[in-house]
Amino acid sequence: MTHSGDLVGVAFGERPVGLDVEKVDAGVDVDGVARVALSADDVRALAEYDGIAKARAFTAYWTRREAVLKATGEGLRGELRGPVPAGIQVQELDVGADHRAALAVVSAEPPVVRIEDATQLLS
């Protein structure tokens, strides 16, 4: 389960899963946070962006990493900067321009993902 801004996400499956959604924050210190929270490869890739595009890219990298840590059961006490462990599939989810989301599944095969909008159920 995850939430950010006005989005809430729930993932479930036959294998361990992790889901993260984050609102893109143009005011975040991307370079500062990236140095302590992302891999060296991710930090180098972020150098190709600027402005809001950099914030969106950072948020995408962050959601992937957090989804993996949730799928493995480590949570945020796990190693954010390391590589994605073998046997974990990570997929970005389209949740609109203002948010980024990722799903991680402990599996050798890519997951089959179905996204449902439950807005009407919640109103």
pLDDT tens digit sequence for 76-87: 777 778 788 899
- The number of C-alpha atoms within 13 Å of 71 and in the hemisphere containing its C-beta is 31
Cβ contacts of residue 12 below 8 Å, gap of 6+?
A: none
CA distance 66 to 59: 10
85-92: average pLDDT: 94
122 pLDDT exceeds 80? no
What value does the CA radius of gyration of the chain take, rounded to a whole number of Å?
A: 14
- Taking a C-beta distance cutoff of 8 angstroms, is the pair 91, 63 a contact? no
Residue 23, pLDDT > 90, answer: yes
pLDDT confidence of residue 58: 97
Average pLDDT of the chain? 91
Tokens of 58: 């950072």
- CATH number, position 81: 3.90.470.20
Instruction: Write out the E strands in 74-120.
Output: 88-93, 99-106
HSE-up of residue 31 (Cα within 13 Å, Cβ side): 5
Domain of residue 110: give its range. Answer: 2-122
pLDDT of residue 76: 73
Q: What percent of the chain has pLDDT over 70?
A: 98
Tens digits of residue pLDDT in 97-112: 999 999 999 999 988 8
- State the pLDDT at residue 70: 95
pLDDT average, residue stretch 3-31: 94
Total domains in the chain come to: 1
Structure tokens at 81: 């900067």
According to the model, what pLDDT value does residue 100 have? 97
- Who's near 8: CB < 8 A, 6+ residues apart? 1, 2
